[in-house]
Amino acid sequence: MGRTSKRSFGGFLLLLLVVVAVGGFLAYQRFTAFADRPLAGIDPGESVVVASGDNLGSVLRKLREIDVETGEALQWRLLARQLQAAGKLQIGEYPLDAGTTPRQLLRAMRDGRVVQRRFTIVEGWNIRELRAALARARPLAQETATLDDAALMAALGKPGQHPEGRFLPETYLYTSGDSDLEVLRRAHKAMEEALAAAWDKRHDGSVLKSPDEMLTLASIVEKETGIASERPQIAGLFERRLKIGMLLQTDPTVIYGMGSRYGGNIRKSDLLADTPYNTYTRAGLPPTPIAMPGVAALEAVANPAPGEALYFVAIGDGSGRHLFARTLAEHQANVGRYLRNYRAARNADPATQAR
């Protein structure tokens, strides 16, 4: 081979290397642009679920089904290899926020950064309200819809236990695939722990004979006031009534005993109608809690405020606060104050005057 032909071959080889290098650089730029470009077609609140048995191909099909533009499958496979996500996609629901890139989505699926949803049990809910809220929670799997209360408690491993008051008001996180039974199981365990802690901290002179009695009284305190500072006062008042054998005479227990018959008002006939929950006709605590008490109500019952008050009535000014009294005469005066405040508030309300 002559010197000229060697030069020509060397030049061709150099040109070829340049072309390959340029081509590789352009391919890398294209791949990087794909990996870090936000996915198009994502609607607000969109998500994708990786189910058991899903691979990258099936996930891409799910994305296309909700009109997300995925681009070339080869680029996804290369990116999955680069991120060490190939074959390691974790089961769960993943958010598709505006601006989500293929790289971010694959990393989330590799690391299991799933959508965490919240279900809140509200202080003072009864078991009917709790179960109704669970039935509306989505995408929480519904396992308890066909179970009555007795079957529900059996499914939780607590056969024979009344469900009222047994689930701690808190916010519980769950992910796609979790069930309402699992949320209830966690809430039940949380209440057992909170009740045990409150029982262990109860004051020495407590009149309560068991944790169940504490739970029942805490549920009454929870329903009687939404004012945190008043809970220890009301807890102390009810404990003093229990000690001297005085009727608790608390409206929330009557309402609970009325069940679906309660229409928003308590009549005199309701106060006289004897039920296991009518604390105007029966002494002591009702047979079960009447609602789900929060930690603050449990702590108030464990350590109620000292004092001599045996009566209380709402102030009637819309604040939700109460007036406390030691004697019946003081209480009757407070009732008069309540009525005056209530009438003044009604007269000042244009909507009430229109009626």
- Per-residue pLDDT of the chain (355 residues), as tens digits, is 555 565 665 665 665 565 555 555 555 678 788 999 999 999 998 999 999 899 999 999 999 999 999 988 999 999 999 999 999 999 999 999 999 999 999 999 999 999 989 999 999 999 999 999 999 998 899 999 999 999 999 999 999 999 999 999 999 999 988 999 999 999 999 999 999 999 999 999 999 999 999 999 999 999 999 899 999 999 999 999 999 999 999 999 999 999 888 888 899 999 999 999 999 999 999 999 999 999 999 999 999 999 999 999 998 887 889 999 999 999 999 999 988 887 887 776 655 444 4
Burial of residue 240, with CB atoms counted within 10 A of its CB: 0-12 exposed, 13-18 middle, 19 or more buried: middle
In Å, how far from its chain's centre is CA 190?
Answer: 13
- DSSP alpha helices (H): ranges in 98-140? 102-111, 127-136
Torsion of CA 294, 297, 298, 299, to 10 degrees: 120
* Domain assignments of the chain as residue spans, ordered by start: 38-115, 117-195, 203-354
Question: Could you tell me the pTM of the whole model?
Answer: 0.80
Strand segments (E) across the chain? 47-50, 92-95, 117-120, 171-174, 311-314, 322-325
Q: CA-to-CA distance for 266 and 256, rounded, in angstroms? A: 11
Side chain identity, residue 276: P
Secondary-structure class of domain 38-115 per CATH: alpha beta
